[in-house]
């Protein structure tokens, strides 16, 4: 048996929206830009409501290693594609070193 080890690096995208639409866009995206992602159903509960959605996971796979920046950039591109394809307003990208919120809505501190 062969083994290969690479540094661990995980990135997750969190977003609401119909699970089947999210999965379908992930399928389209990975066909155009080869990669493997995971899709887990998730429920987001917040003050005043809740929404269904998903956690989309990416990681450094030793068979096809990538740098942290390559994985993060891929997650950014996938998040934007998912927001557009599912007609959602935002997505959250979480890595070991930062959390970034992508939104089409103006923030409270935006004039």
The percent of residues above 90 in pLDDT, for the chain, comes to 90
- pTM for this structure? 0.90
Structure tokens at 39: 């899709």
Please determine, for residue 105, whether its predicted confidence score (pLDDT) is greater than 90.
Answer: no
Average the pLDDT over 59-71 and give the result. Answer: 93
Pick from 77, 78, 71: which is nearest to 22 by CA?
A: 78
Q: What kind of fold does domain 10-96 have according to CATH?
A: Alpha-Beta Plaits (3.30.70)
How does the average pLDDT of the chain come out, rounded?
A: 94
Those residues whose C-beta lies under 8 Å from the C-beta of residue 98, and which sit 6 or more positions away, are none
Angle between helices 19-32 and 68-86 (to 10 degrees): 130
The reported pLDDT for the residue numbered 20 is: 98
Q: Has residue 106 got a pLDDT over 90?
A: no
For the chain, which residues make up each domain, given as ranges?
10-96
């Amino acid at each position: 048996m062969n083994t290969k080890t690479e540094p661990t690096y995980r990135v997750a995208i969190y977003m609401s929206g119909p699970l089947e639409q999210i999965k379908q866009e992930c399928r389209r995206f990975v066909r155009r830009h080869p990669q493997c992602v995971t899709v887990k159903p998730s429920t987001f509960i917040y003050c005043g409501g809740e929404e269904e959605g998903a956690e989309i996971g990416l990681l450094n796979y030793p068979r096809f290693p990538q740098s942290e920046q390559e994985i993060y950039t891929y997650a950014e591109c996938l998040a934007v594609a998912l927001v557009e394809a599912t007609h959602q307003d935002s997505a959250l990208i979480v890595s070991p070193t930062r959390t970034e919120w992508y939104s089409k809505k103006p923030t409270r501190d935006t004039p």
